[in-house]
Chains A and B, each alone.
Chain A
Amino acid sequence: DAKTTQPPSMDCAEGRAANLPCNHSTISGNEYVYWYRQIHSQGPQYIIHGLKNNETNEMASLIITEDRKSSTLILPHATLRDTAVYYCIVRAPSGGGADGLTFGKGTHLIIQP
């Protein structure tokens, strides 16, 4: 089972900030939070990741709560091309042999013109 919970869908107006929430209440201290997105019929694309500090790159910002039990992905100025399914995952340290990357169903973000 996926270790994260996300709303199944969200709408956002073009040009506004899109805020996508994710709950990961069972996250371990050494697990990272990763965000990917998948445009229809393509492979998932990496967006951003973090451990406990907030992170920002050219695509998005990631806000992680102090207790690390939830996070929010922020797309600051959403465009129509940001319409996609967004996956929040927690990545276990490798070497334990337990799993690869475990994906849930994600959030289908629809940017409205």
Chain B
Amino acid sequence: DGGITQSPKYLFRKEGQNVTLSCEQNLNHDAMYWYRQDPGQGLRLIYYSQIVNDFQKGDIAEGYSVSREKKESFPLTVTSAQKNPTAFYLCASSIEGRPNTEAFFGQGTRLTVV
């Protein structure tokens, strides 16, 4: 089935360690996005990519890094520079250049840093 997959669902890390969250889609979508969600809050955009080998910072990019080496994959690294990394992380994808189509979301990764 076509879809967008995030792994793992739950992730625990020690403070000061970098951690990479996986996001894979087989929808042939050009655009991919990463969001962060804190309890009781909406989604805040971290990074997005409209095409392979290119990406742009969102509203809260500090302390995060991404890569887009393949169309299907958009991994997010939470670095030790991120002051409050514990959050729910969501990945999404959509067809680029066509606003008349919906975005699809993964089921999220809940990261806890202890």
Contacts and interface: CB of A to CB of B under 8 A. Distances in A.
Interface of A: 2, 30-32, 34, 36, 41-46, 49, 51, 87, 91-95, 97, 99-106
B31 A44 contact: no
Contact of B35 (A32, A92, A93, A103): A103
25 contacts: A2-B42, A31-B99, A41-B108, A42-B108, A43-B6, A43-B107, A43-B108, A44-B90, A44-B92, A46-B102, A49-B102, A87-B42, A92-B99, A94-B50, A94-B96, A94-B97, A95-B96, A99-B48, A100-B33, A100-B45, A102-B45, A103-B43, A103-B44, A104-B42, A106-B42
Contacts, number: 69
Size bin of chain B's contact surface: 20 to 34
Contact of A43 (B48, B96, B98, B105): B105
Contacts of A32: 99-100
Given A43-B90, A87-B42, A100-B31, A95 B103 contact: no
Interface string B99-114: 1101111111010000
Nearest to A95: B97
Query: Interface SS of chain B: helix, strand, loop or mixed?
Result: strand
The 6 closest A-B pairs by CB, nearest first: A43-B105, A100-B48, A103-B43, A46-B102, A105-B42, A100-B33
